[in-house]
Structure 1
Amino acid sequence: MRPVLSLEALKAKVGETVGTSDWILVDQERIDRFAETTGDHQFIHVNPELARQTPFGTTIAHGFLSLSLLAPMGYSAMPLIAGVKMGVNYGLNRVRFLAPVKSGSRIRGHFRLADVTERAKGVVQSTYHVTVEIEGEEKPALQAEWINLVYL
């Protein structure tokens, strides 16, 4: 269960890893659904026979699929601010795709709180450095600086 913190308690955690998400399976069905949704049907994602001939040996998830999974990862890992009415994704400052996520892999996110700023009365901006781990792999799938706004 996600912790609920006061704004002051959250600010005190700047610089700390504040959560690790649950594992998420990235199987071929999820990859195919993402390809259908986005129209990105590159063979490396959707054609297992051709993908076997690549250095990866199998299909891999779209980088943007892995990135889109930050949302459910965040739901299970990022602390909530007491009194929050809603939160929105404000954007990303930096994203790097470091290793392919092979079909059938599981990934999870590690969230380090980089900054908390009160933008206006009742509006809080939080910035997280996120590393997405691939189970059993040394190199992470991606790293991103993710910015969220919450309204109190």
Structure 2
Amino acid sequence: MKLEDMAAKVGEVIGTSDWYLIDQARIDKFADTTEDHQFIHVDPEAAKATPFGQTIAHGFLTASMLAPMMSGLDKPEVQMSVNYGFNKVRFLSPVKSGKRIRGHFKLLELVEKRPGQWQQTVEASIEIEGEDKPALLAEWIFMHFV
């Protein structure tokens, strides 16, 4: 999709991802990668005594799932895109081990910052299957180079 065509979609939902299973194996691998082995994530027996009653995904694991969730959606035709960061990220509800999540994306802004360089801001929310409250709400920024 051309950038100009995508710019006409500001304010619109631009896609919903497939579902992703967040099981204990994925949580454990993330813990090993980040060296964050807090019991609430990796010790099912100890986690039973918490208000959640079981292990939960790391917030940053949930946030990291935005990249594969966004990969299947329509993207602007550009030479290169880079992750530019976030305006805000909120972890609203924990993702319990064994739950499935998916992303919803709304285009908030797409502006040409300088010739050949466009900044895109997307509202991203991550839904937890069967739950009313999302796991995450964020404003995610990309920089596109044409």
TM-score after normalising by structure 1: 0.93
Please report how far the alpha carbon of residue 123 of structure 1 lies from its aligned counterpart in structure 2 after TM superposition. 1.3
Which 5+ residue runs of structure 2 have no aligned equivalent? none
Alignment of 1:5-24 (within 5 A): 5-24=1-20
Give the distance between the partners of 1:86 and 1:29, measured in 2 at CA: 33
Give the equivalent residue in structure 2 for 1:105: 99
Write the deviation string for residues 15-49 of structure 1: whole angstroms up to 9, x where unpaired: 00010011111110110011111111100000000
Which 5+ residue runs of structure 1 have no aligned equivalent? none
Is 2:116 aligned against 1:127? no
Give the distance between the partners of 2:106 and 2:118, measured in 1 at CA: 17
Give the equivalent residue in structure 2 for 1:89: 83
Give the equivalent residue in structure 1 for 2:110: 116
* SS across alignment from 2:29: helix
Please report how far the alpha carbon of residue 121 of structure 1 lies from its aligned counterpart in structure 2 after TM superposition. 1.8
After the TM superposition, which segments of 4 or more aligned residues of structure 1 sit over 4 Å from their partners?
A: none
What amino acid is aligned across from residue 81 of structure 1 in structure 2? P
Give the equivalent residue in structure 2 for 1:36: 32
Give the distance between the partners of 1:80 and 1:130, measured in 2 at CA: 15
* SS across alignment from 1:81: coil
Q: State the percentage of identical aligned residues.
A: 60
Write the deviation string for residues 105-151 of structure 1: whole angstroms up to 9, x where unpaired: 11111000000011122211100011100011110001000001111
Q: Number of residues paired by the alignment?
A: 146
TM-score after normalising by structure 2: 0.97
Selected match of 1:69 from 65, 68, 85: 65
